[in-house]
Amino acid sequence: MKNFSFTFVLFLVLTSFGSCKEDVLPKPNAFLALNYNTPEYTLYGSETCPYEFMKNTSAVVRYKSDCSVILEYPDMDGALYLTYRNVDGNIKQLLTDAQKLTYEHVIKADNIAEEKYINPEHNVYGMFYDVAGNAASQSQFYVTDSTSYFITGSIYFNVTPNYDSILPAAAYLKTDIRHLMESLRWKK
């Protein structure tokens, strides 16, 4: 019995010394750290299409036969889709369709903020939509000269929408959209 008492006391003493560590604390909340290069822009346009714009050099451009464009961002697994339409007395319908496309995301969106874009010097007018939440597209826009040309654009990522996860990439591409809108010129 003496051996058992001695062993038990020794066990308690050793256990108390071994448990004198700092308290375990949970890790603090963190954000995904994605860093993207500072964008560099170059003029881009097709000889057969009636517009040109400054594009991010990290974007890969694919033209379609109707002057619509896909700007692919391989590092982000996303793309900016630009759709070109001629205005032929149908400006009201084109505007309605562009707004309808944006507001189809209202089911999943937490908020849709609108920003008008007006550049009378270059005859470019439009609207930028910032979509917050788990919507399929985080940003959309349209630009037009109101008489001949109309372009809509949308960002899409090749992943299930999770606003927190794609936020850094979406913010980066929003900057590209704004730059594209500000640099867009109609060819005469």
Indicate whether 12 belongs to any domain.
no
Give yes or no for a contact between 82 and 152, defined as CB atoms under 8 angstroms apart: yes
pLDDT digits (tens, 9 = 90+) for 28-39: 665 555 677 899
Which is more confident, 127 or 29?
127
**Predicted local confidence at residue 167, as pLDDT:** 77
Task: Report the distance separating Cα 91 and Cα 85, nearest Å.
Answer: 10
Cα dist from 163 to 30, 92, 135, 171, whole Å: 15, 32, 8, 11
**Which alpha helices (H) appear in the chain, and where do they start and end?**
2-18, 91-103, 163-183
Which is more confident, 120 or 157?
120
pLDDT digits (tens, 9 = 90+) for 57-79: 999 998 877 899 999 999 888 89
Phi, psi (deg, nearest 5) at residue 108: -95, -15
Indicate whether 140 belongs to any domain.
yes
Indicate whether 164 belongs to any domain.
yes
Which is more confident, 103 or 99?
99
CATH code, domain carrying 89: 3.40.1000.10
Confidence band for 158, pLDDT divided at 50, 70 and 90: confident
Indicate whether 78 belongs to any domain.
yes
Average pLDDT value for residue range 88-117: 81
Beta-bridge partner residues of 84: 151
Beta-bridge partner residues of 112: 131
Task: Report the distance separating Cα 178 and Cα 174, nearest Å.
Answer: 6
pLDDT of 149 strictly over 90: yes
Indicate whether 100 belongs to any domain.
yes
Question: In what side-by-side order are the strands of the sheet with 69-73?
Answer: 60-63, 69-73, 78-86, 149-157, 139-144, 124-133, 109-119
Task: Report the distance separating Cα 151 and Cα 131, nearest Å.
Answer: 19
Of the ranges 53-62, 72-81, 105-114, which one carries the lowest mean pLDDT score? Answer: 105-114
User: Can you give the C-alpha Rg of the chain in angstroms?
Assistant: 27
Task: Quote the domain boundaries for residue 113.
Answer: 41-186
How much is the pTM? 0.76
User: Exposed e or buried b for every residue in 132-167, given b needs 16+ CB within 10 A?
Assistant: eebbebbbbbbbbbeeebbbbbbbbbeeebebeebe
pLDDT of 186 strictly over 70: yes
- Beta strands, E only, the chain: 41-45, 51-56, 60-63, 69-73, 78-86, 109-119, 124-133, 139-144, 149-157, 185-186
Confidence band for 92, pLDDT divided at 50, 70 and 90: very high
Average pLDDT value for residue range 155-166: 74
Beta-bridge partner residues of 110: none
Structural domain total, the chain:
1
